[in-house]
Amino acid sequence: MSRRALVLLATLGSAALMLGALGFQYIGNMPPCHLCMLQRYPHIVAIIIGLIALLIPWRVLPFAGALATLTTAGIGIYHTGVERGFWLGPTSCTSNMQVGGLSSNDLLNQIMAAPVVRCDEPAWIFLHLSMASWNVVFSLVLVGVWLAAALRRD
């Protein structure tokens, strides 16, 4: 495949993942958690890089696209670890509620401040992998496509 075709494939891959995420959100009625949202931004960056790389064939752009998709894979690995209980997630989207010794008003305040969409509970699982885990798998494939485009000599 030519460099241009590989860039197009990688760009369309990130676009497909974004469309899938939006489909789950708006059609499947599965609002994203904080970490899910963070995984979207590098895909948006990769799409923009891809569009620029299709117009201006600078050799550095596919490396930047690979870095963007590697970033979303890293966030996805972190999110997967939070979902599986390997480590604690951010307090903004996980349940780390301490109820011992709280007054009823303090307990009510903690309940009211609890995240609506939690990062530590997968909303969807397929073949034992959550959406965050699937994002890692597909993003690492896209990293490979971006790197193939960067190393292509045409």
The 10s digit of each residue's pLDDT in 90-118 is 876 765 555 566 676 665 665 555 556 77
The average confidence (pLDDT) of the chain is: 88
pLDDT higher for 113 or 36? 36
- Residue 149's nearest CA partner among 74, 56, 53 is 53
Q: What is the CATH number of domain 3-151?
A: 1.20.1550.10
| pLDDT, position 100 | 61
Q: DSSP class of residue 123?
A: S
The model carries a pTM of: 0.81
Tallying the residues shown for the chain, one arrives at 154
**Inter-residue contact 136 to 43 (CB < 8 Å):** no
pLDDT band at 11 (very low <50, low <70, confident <90, very high): very high
Q: What angle do CA 90, 93, 99 make, to 5 degrees?
A: 90
pLDDT higher for 58 or 121? 58
Percent above pLDDT 70 for the chain: 85
| pLDDT, position 139 | 98
* Ranges of each domain in the chain: 3-151
| pLDDT, position 120 | 84
Chain centroid offset of residue 135 CA: 6
| pLDDT, position 70 | 98
- Average pLDDT value for residue range 7-14: 98
- Indicate the SS3 state at residue 129: strand
